[in-house]
A and B are shown apart, each in its own frame.
Chain A
């Protein structure tokens, strides 16, 4: 069975601090996808990144970076120099590779960035 754990329920940081959101996953598949989504207070779900299990390279996009480590089944997300607009619930998700595989979402981490 597939499972995604986000152990941090809520995190509060002060603006400009760096923050890392943890994601640990379980799957028996040898090929799979990992995702991060952002849900701001307005409620919509915004896609941030997709990573397939073949590619363990870290990725950086502006202030966002992701660290994928198969050895520890983790796909952590770091926000550098956080801003108030980063306040949201962040979801990590796992999908099997083949057609018909549904997404399994983690419980989410609520990030509050204080001015």
Chain B
């Protein structure tokens, strides 16, 4: 029944490692997003995909690479993890009707801790 799901919920890893976070939505939406929430709770968009195509790519290091195998999935790969990457990462999805963007629905978040 979960509309937007993310795995894993918690991820603890060493600096320099490569890791992935998976996101799936069963809402039939065609647009998906990744957000980063820092320790002060600031939410900032990282990427947006519409029908498997990148439409927003904010200023994030190229160590972060989103991959969308189909419009229900948007995974986030992070290479060479750094201490500053520690945050909660949220996936979201929405429906775009060709003109405007609908409400974004969020996954439960993945808390990444880099040691």
Residues on A facing B (Cβ under 8 Å): 33, 35, 37, 39, 43-47, 50, 89, 91, 95-103, 105, 107-108, 110
Q: How many residues of B contact A (CB 8 A)?
A: 28
CB distance from B12 to the nearest CB of A (A): 16
Cα distance A45–B43 in the bound complex, in angstroms? 11
Count of CB-CB pairs between chains A and B under 8 Å? 65
Q: Is the CB of A44 within 8 A of B101?
A: no
Return the contact of B90 from the options A45, A100, A110 (Cβ within 8 A).
A45
Kindly report which residue of chain A lies nearest to residue B106, judged by CB atoms: A45
Q: Is the CB of B45 within 8 A of A43?
A: no
Q: Is the CB of B43 within 8 A of A43?
A: no
Chain A residues with CB below 8 A from B83, complex form: none
Stretch from B15-23, B69-77, B92-100 forming part of the interface with A = B92-100
A–B Cβ pairs within 8 angstroms, 26 of them: A33-B100, A33-B101, A35-B104, A39-B41, A43-B88, A43-B108, A43-B109, A43-B111, A44-B107, A44-B109, A45-B106, A47-B104, A47-B105, A47-B106, A89-B41, A95-B101, A98-B100, A99-B99, A100-B56, A102-B45, A102-B48, A103-B45, A103-B104, A107-B40, A107-B41, A108-B43
